[in-house]
């Protein structure tokens, strides 16, 4: 095993453990996400479920033995960055669904986007008569509302898993552990700090300018 590959596997395992801890301290109990390497040398993080073929990937959003009303599918495809030092998220999906698997919404991210649609986007699995009428009038009769791609912040400022958890709790859709707010706040701060550091590494001139304006030497 080469060192970069070893670093990727180690960091991916740590990230999977971090996501697991976030979920089990907020809206789940006893679930575990794990990381596996694929044939392309990327690390895949997901919930493999209890089925022998690993197809049972819907995480039940419940903190007890009570049947879940909602489920969540999580997928991350990770590599290392150009310097072979930090994790790079090349593809991710957070899909909220009913307990029986019927889709509700999905946050998708693909780097770089393989088509004309934005790298980070939201799909809402629903119907809108007004929107469908607009699509029909624009000559896109084969498309539906659920196939539209709503931009959500781009590569650096896209939504995070914490946002979906907050939505589920604040709207009263799931039960939750005591202290979930503090757990969520800490986890979201980590995500934002990582994104900030990544932005600084890619735009050092802008970071230097901002620091100089703030009085740094």
Query: Rounded to whole angstroms, what are the CA distances from 92 to 1, 83, 163, 164, 197?
Result: 25, 21, 15, 14, 20
Residue 125's SS3 state is: coil
How would DSSP label each residue in 47-95? ---SSTTS----EE--SSSSPPSEEEEEEEEEEE-TTSSSEEEEEEEEE
Task: Please state, rounded to an integer, the average pLDDT across all residues of the chain.
Answer: 93
Model pLDDT, residue 1? 56
Model pLDDT, residue 66? 92
Length of the chain counted residue by residue:
217
pLDDT, average across residues 18-35 = 97
Model pLDDT, residue 127? 87
CB-CB contact of 188 with 160 (8 Å): yes
Q: Is the pLDDT of residue 122 over 60?
A: yes
Beta strand ranges found along the chain (DSSP E): 34-37, 43-46, 59-60, 70-80, 87-98, 103-110, 120-124, 150-151
- Structure-token pair, residue 84: 């072979």
42-56, 147-161, 168-182: which has the minimum mean pLDDT? 42-56
Among 56, 73, 77, which residue's Cα sits nearest to residue 161? 73
- Structure-token pair, residue 190: 């980590």
pLDDT, average across residues 48-66 = 80
CB-CB contact of 150 with 122 (8 Å): yes
Hey, where are the domains in the chain?
3-213
Taking only the tens place, the pLDDT of each residue in 164-198 is 999 999 999 999 999 999 999 999 999 999 999 99
Model pLDDT, residue 132? 93
């Amino acid at each position: 095993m080469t060192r970069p590959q070893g670093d990727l596997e180690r960091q991916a395992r740590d990230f999977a453990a971090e996501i697991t801890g976030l979920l089990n301290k907020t809206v789940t109990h006893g679930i575990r996400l794990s990381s596996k390497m694929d044939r392309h040398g990327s690390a895949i993080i997901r919930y493999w479920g209890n089925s022998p073929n690993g197809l049972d990937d819907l995480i039940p959003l419940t903190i007890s033995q009570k049947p879940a009303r909602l489920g969540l599918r999580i997928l991350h495809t990770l590599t290392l960055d150009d310097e072979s030092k930090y994790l790079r998220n090349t593809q991710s999906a957070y899909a909220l669904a009913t307990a029986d698997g019927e889709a509700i919404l999905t946050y998708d991210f693909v780097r770089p986007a393989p088509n004309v649609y934005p790298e980070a986007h939201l799909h809402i699995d629903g119907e809108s008569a007004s929107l469908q009428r607009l699509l029909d009038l624009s000559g896109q009769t084969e498309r539906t509302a659920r196939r539209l791609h709503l931009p959500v912040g781009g590569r650096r400022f896209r939504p995070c898993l914490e946002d979906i958890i907050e939505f589920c709790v604040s709207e009263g859709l799931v039960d939750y552990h005591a202290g979930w707010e503090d757990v969520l706040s800490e986890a979201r701060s980590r995500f934002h700090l990582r994104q900030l550091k990544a932005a600084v590494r890619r735009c050092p001139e802008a970071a230097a300018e901002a620091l100089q304006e703030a009085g740094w030497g």
